[in-house]
Amino acid sequence: MAGERAEGRRLIAVTGEDRAGFLQGLVTNDVRRAGAGLVYAALLSPQGKYLADFLLHEREGAILIDVAEGLAEGLLRRLQLYRLRARVAFADSPLHVARGLGPAPAGALADPRHPALGWRLYADVPGGAPAIDWDAIRVAACVPESGIELVPEESYILECGFERLNGVDFRKGCYVGQEVTARMKHKTELRKGLVTVEVEGAAPVGTPILAGGRPAGTLYTQSGGRGIAHLRFDRAEGWMEAGPARVRLAGQT
């Protein structure tokens, strides 16, 4: 099997005749497209805050949820809470998650978030040892990672680029947190969000960024002199301080 193991991931299989309708009323994207490929989506709190993000794919009578291991138990608890009388069941899938770049093997699916992320494959055997620098790819494409740039109970998906990453559908109808998300889309201008920055030096993930001594954001993943930061756009001018490092918007002079 081609590709490398996607470490730190868990596959949850959602089965039952109500599986598609059940998830459709909960998550940010259109689950009906999950049979044709991968769908990127999130589960939000009623207040519109991020709880978990995942990739969905329907095959052989189940919808697979490809989610970060650290978020899986919390996601399952939420799904059980919302289940009520829906005819659905949840179980760990025996399949393994592999990912890779370049020519895709049979059965592989394009990652819908960004072309630079290549493909994913759900198979009976694991892939090879990880060898690709995915952090460098994510930083260059400004793709957030679960539990790093995407912080449960804090992040808002539009500030994290979900529209650009094909992670939200504004025409699919209601889902948990939809009202807040729609209001951010249609009635306000985003004043902060995730961006790629140039980095001189290095700083721990989560280091506060200061502009002229005032809070301006937070620095997250870094690779090759660049990083992903959550910034207030009105303060993101020139070089800013991030602990022992300096940062500025990529491409800014």
Each residue's pLDDT tens digit, 137-172: 999 999 999 999 999 999 999 999 999 999 999 999
* pLDDT of res. 23: 98
Identify whether the C-beta of residue 124 lies closer than 8 Å to the C-beta of residue 94: yes
Question: Cα–Cα distance between 134 and 150 in angstroms, integer?
Answer: 16
* pLDDT of res. 154: 97
| 8-state DSSP, 161 | T
Contacts of 200 (CB under 8 A, 6+ apart): 225, 239, 245, 246, 247
Q: Name the amino acid, one letter, at 4.
A: E
* pLDDT of res. 127: 86
Question: In the chain, pLDDT over 70 holds for what percent of residues?
Answer: 99
* pLDDT of res. 2: 63
Each residue's pLDDT tens digit, 44-60: 999 999 999 999 999 99
* pLDDT of res. 52: 98
Q: What is the mean pLDDT of the chain?
A: 96
Least confident of 1-5, 16-20, 93-97, 193-197: 1-5
Nearest to 100 by CA among 3, 6, 7: 3
What domains lie within the chain, and their CATH numbers? Answer: 4-141 (3.30.1360.120), 192-249 (no CATH)
Question: Cα–Cα distance between 150 and 161 in angstroms, integer?
Answer: 10
Question: In the chain, pLDDT over 90 holds for what percent of residues?
Answer: 95
Tokens of 190: 């985003």
* pLDDT of res. 253: 65
Which stretches within the chain are classed as H helix?
Answer: 19-24, 69-83, 134-141, 178-186
